[in-house]
Structure 1
Amino acid sequence: MRSAALLDHPARVVALVRLAAVPVFFFGERLIDHPEAHSGAFRFVLAFGVVYAAVLAGLAFSPGRRPLPLRVTATIDLALLGGLTYTSGGPFSQLRYGFFVVPVAAALLRGPRETAIASAAALTCYLVATIAYPDSRQDAVAFEATQSLYFVWLVMASTLLSAVLARRQRQIVSLSDERGRLVARAIEAEERERRRLAEALHDDAIQNLLAARQALGSGDDDRPADLGLVRTGLDRTVSQLRDAIFDLHPHLLRHAGLAAALQAVADRFAERLPDRSVAWEITVADDATGPTDEVVFAIARELMTNAVRHADARSVAVEVRRRQGGIALTVSDDGRGIDRRRARDAPLHGHIGLASCAERAEALGGRLQLASAPGEGARVEVWLPADPQA
């Protein structure tokens, strides 16, 4: 928990990295031979660095205190690193490697533009600290040029890395926003279905029961009851209640199996759309049923509904088989097809059917693939692990 809380505060992480650099710089200057031109000032610059790192760490870990702006600390860091490098050997100082940390840190913490600026500033400080260093060795220029070449390569790599990370961050934010919209639309759809069910029960089933009760009479008069009307009202009510129960949870799925439940969905479309003839082909392999039946049924029913109601399909094939160690559901139709861009933007307009299917599959470790084009029908393949709880 403490490490997770620490990672939520980049300023604290940077403060710890800065503190950890102090002993590294001290021993790096002591353990390696280097020119002695300005080594006397090194201890004073390092002492300032210790105080500076401690103060920033105190600010970062003090609750309620705002750390210094990043531009200020970055400027001081580079100036301090340049001073330490200059006073500990210039181009041959082991502390020069500290400059190479700057582009990588900027790439992880900032965007590509800020990374390029910070990297250019670090390269400038490095060149000033090394070129200005008085050294009579013949290989100093070649050494500085080689180090600068590596530094430029690191700057380019860090900037590109920062661009990749920034792009992924935007994608994550976009996916998070889309999922939030999807959840909101799902809640709205659930509430809409609740209202539809309540209205259907009130306007149809209850009215039929009231009519049947009226047909029975009050019992206070001698008027015979119209048993035919009563029977008709009760039959209609039973049929309406069965439809409502099937919409809530298909009892056939538990008692008769997945194939029978999917066939019942197809039969219900035939009853509700008597003016349209849809050819159904439903195939469920015997070894493809089990713990995933309810999820497969829910996704298949949604895809079948899309094919008939939204794509005006005349032929729909539903197939459930075992594949690649899991359960593969395939729903193909000859309807109008689906434009991929419109399918991607559909949740923004309240159409969450296909997106909810993908969400259900991915939540169980599966996947959904769409193959379609306008006017050429659609083929949706859903793969689920055989045991979602494994």
Structure 2
Amino acid sequence: MTLTALLDHPTRVIALVRLAALPVFLAGERLIEHPDARSGAFRVILVLAVVYAVLAAAAAFSAPRRRPPGRVTASVDLLLLGLLTYTSGGPFSQLRYGFFMVPVAAAFLQGPRGTAIASAAALSCYLVATTTYPDARSDAIEVEITQTVYFAWLALASMLLSAVLARRQEQILALSDERGQLVARALEAEERERRRLAESLHDDAIQNLLAARQALGGADGGAEPDLALVRTGLDRTVSQLRDAIFDLHPQLLRHAGLTAALQAVAERFGTQAPEVAWEIAVDDDAAASRDETVFAITRELMTNAVRHADPTTIGVSIFPRDDGVVIRVHDDGVGIDPDRARDATVQGHIGLASCAERAEALGGRLEVASAAGAGTRVDVWLPAPD
């Protein structure tokens, strides 16, 4: 079994820790001098603890249905630890440090409430094992009080640690759920784009080709073919196919560079939003650095601005900064309301979210500066490729 597989089963980890504790307990009882009031029973209880630890480990590595409930094993653990402590010196036993493991383990395996319950149970067990110990030494009370204070401090720290871990787990679950929604929305958007492209080719390009073929086919009956109609249909088809190819992969980016490709995107938006003025500036030092990714994110941000900002001016600038490249798209539109931005992904508007996902996947980040009625500025920083 690999370490990763072992860490996926907390009960198995606990079983191994329990087994490893037994030789440590034996060494603590043998090597450190302590009162002998109840030492005779220590060996018997230690043998019982060994048998229990072996059986518990076998159960932990067996089928889940054969494993005893966690509360049962926890109760037996505390009972045996208390008895071993009592029979090896009580308040002076080195085994008393084993109680410190209880709140720490609970912090990783349970929530703050479970950690508090486990800590209280362990402290109670320790106090019973030490206060009932028949020893007349005057410093026993001081040892017990000191141990109790340390234990209370550790229990509080463990509960805070458990709260932090629980909070992080909630955040991870929330991020996982948000990522799942984003992936689903992205797949839906991709399917819609495929459908749009297919419908566009069928309704426009194919129809133009059919019309051209029909015009040529008229010559079979002796009539003169309408070459002007054929030429118009072919020209429209070529233009539509070029647009479709640009949507799929901008060849202009490869042949003419990032600036020309972004200007081409702006020109295509001219038919949808002719009132928008575009300002595009690409620093020469930023060009050729992740050009395809930079182009994809920039086009998405440009599309987002045209569709949702209602702007009169959109500025696009790409420049180097901090050993990377910055994509900045700003507009003078209506701005982004914080509530609307939070609900955007749920409502299917995944433009900014998808750009943020792409940037974070490369070790970058996305920042939005906006206010309702005051325009929007989106900065995306991408690190330079290795």
Same fold by TM-score greater than 0.5 = yes
The partner residue of 1:292 within 290, 293, 308 is 290
Find the counterpart in structure 2 of residue 117 from structure 1: 117
* SS at 2:344 equivalent: helix
Shift of 1:30: 0.6
Find the counterpart in structure 2 of residue 311 from structure 1: 309
Q: Is the 8 A contact 2:315 2:329 kept in 1?
A: yes
Q: Name the TM-score, length of structure 2 as normaliser.
A: 0.97
Alignment of 1:57-72 (within 5 A): 57-63=57-63, 65-72=65-72
Q: Is the 8 A contact 2:111 2:162 kept in 1?
A: yes
Find the counterpart in structure 1 of residue 375 from structure 2: 377
**Runs (5+) with no aligned partner, structure 2:** none
Q: Which moved more, 1:43-52 or 1:219-228?
A: 219-228
Shift of 1:213: 2.1
Find the counterpart in structure 2 of residue 42 from structure 1: 42
The partner residue of 1:344 within 322, 336, 342 is 342
Shift of 1:252: 0.9
Q: Is the 8 A contact 1:308 1:314 kept in 2?
A: no
Question: Structure 1 334/196 Cα, relative in aligned 2: closer, same or farther at 3 Å?
Answer: same
Amino acid at match of 2:314: V
Find the counterpart in structure 2 of residue 130 from structure 1: 130
Offset from partner CA, 1:30-68 (integer Å, 9 cap, x none): 100111111111111111111100100111122465311
Q: Percent identity?
A: 72
Find the counterpart in structure 2 of residue 220 from structure 1: 220
Find the counterpart in structure 1 of residue 174 from structure 2: 174
The partner residue of 2:330 within 303, 311, 332 is 332
Cα distance in 1 for residues equivalent to 2:373 and 2:119: 53
- RMSD of the TM alignment (CA)? 1.4
Q: Is the 8 A contact 1:325 1:385 kept in 2?
A: yes
Cα distance in 1 for residues equivalent to 2:313 and 2:128: 75
Find the counterpart in structure 2 of residue 254 from structure 1: 254
Cα distance in 2 for residues equivalent to 1:211 and 1:386: 50
* SS at 2:221 equivalent: coil
Shift of 1:218: 2.7
Q: Is the 8 A contact 2:38 2:89 kept in 1?
A: yes
Q: Which moved more, 1:323-332 or 1:204-213?
A: 204-213
Cα distance in 2 for residues equivalent to 1:78 and 1:271: 76
**Runs (5+) with no aligned partner, structure 1:** none
Offset from partner CA, 1:263-282 (integer Å, 9 cap, x none): 111111112334xx112111
* SS at 1:318 equivalent: strand
Offset from partner CA, 1:307-361 (integer Å, 9 cap, x none): 1111112111111111000111111111222233432332222221111111111
Find the counterpart in structure 2 of residue 367 from structure 1: 365
Q: How many residues align?
A: 386
Would you identify which runs of 4 or more consecutive aligned residues in structure 1 move more than 3 Å?
A: none
Find the counterpart in structure 1 of residue 231 from structure 2: 231
Amino acid at match of 1:360: R
Shift of 1:172: 0.9
